Amino acid sequence: MPLARVGRGYRAAIDAASAYIGATAPNPPVGCALLDREGRILVVAAHHRAGTPHAEARALQEAREKGLLAQAHTALVTLEPCNHIGRTPPCAEALRESPVEDIWLGVEDPHAIAAGGIARLRQQPGGRNVYRLADYPALGAYRRDCEALIAPFARRVVTGRSWLTVKQALDVNGGMIPPAGRTTFTDHDSLVLAHRLRRATDAIVTGIGTVLADRPRFNVRHVADHEPRAPRLLVICDRHGRTPPDYRKAMTQAGFNVQVTDDIAGVPARLAAHGVNWAMVEAGPGLLREIDRLGLWDDWLTIQQHAAQPDTHDIRARGVSPLRFLTGLEHETPRYFEGAS
């Protein structure tokens, strides 16, 4: 099959998966496209939420319902199909039982429990042809997107800590405090970006200073949130027990699982223990300095206000960042920093 058609199918699968970033934890977002023998796209599907059918199962079911399953020759999957029985059946087995002959994998599954799909798909009798994007340099851009899709999930299952994104907004003078009577100084596009990031993440980390000064709601506005979705975790870094009980109660009633901690260094592990793949930090300069000093962040989004121009967005990352799906920089490489833990 021409690689151009493989790439076109992968773009569709990646786009489908990216629509559910923030809805699937503790699972990663995954997409699957089924192609006919000539490389025409038959169906595209994505995993919606933990406990519901995986992308491969959804794609096969949709093809079956549309009467297209017999034409399915190639499956393009952003992540290696799972090979274990959990809340849903193994996808590797579902593909083996389908008419699909060729299976492409975006990235291997880093989870020791779910991995092994490649070996099972190739196992004889009844083995399938398995191809990896890693073996085709011309398709490298799609592989990087597949890596970015699961970067937070991979961080959690490999290291036992969640992916931490810092969002920092700076005014024209480099300050972080909005003018009196306002809650922000960023432009509309930056505001939408901030709320897209809230929607995409499973938890918010903030500091007691921000809570006392602003009593932020941390809800998703300006964009539609995932519905339904699991409650978000709200971690308040508070070393002196100053979190107001009424604020904690209000945020719990708003659907947050509120956690208060005096251990900033332990926040990524604490998040991971709750099944959080991706968390964002919305806090003041004091907590941001401490997070930077401790090296807890994985990527850092800076929104910079300008006097007579639109805001600019800068990404610093210690690896392939999932922010590429939110910022409009999907196919650009953010500044990369060595030494990620």
Pick from 153, 187, 183, 162: nearest CA to 172: 187
Positive or negative, the CA dihedral 174, 177, 180, 183 is positive
250 membership: H or E segment, kind and range: helix 245-253
* Residue 272, burial from CB neighbour count under 10 angstroms (0-12, 13-18, 19+): buried
What backbone phi and psi angles, to 5 degrees, belong to 239?
A: -80, -15
CA dihedral 129, 133, 134, 139 (to 10 degrees): 140
What whole-number distance in Å separates Cα of residue 149 and Cα of residue 25? 12
What whole-number distance in Å separates Cα of residue 81 and Cα of residue 58? 13
Asked if residue 146 lies in contact with residue 14, where contact means CB atoms within 8 angstroms, the answer is yes
What whole-number distance in Å separates Cα of residue 220 and Cα of residue 200? 10
What whole-number distance in Å separates Cα of residue 320 and Cα of residue 163? 12
Pick from 63, 118, 68: nearest CA to 91: 118
Cβ-proximal residues to 341 (8 Å cutoff; 6+ apart), any chain? 159, 295
Identity of the amino acid at 132: R
What backbone phi and psi angles, to 5 degrees, belong to 137?
A: -55, -30
The answer to whether residue 147 is catalytic is no
Q: Which of 56, 80, 147, 282 is catalytic?
A: 56
What whole-number distance in Å separates Cα of residue 54 and Cα of residue 89? 9
CA dihedral 128, 132, 135, 141 (to 10 degrees): 150
Could you list the active site residues?
56
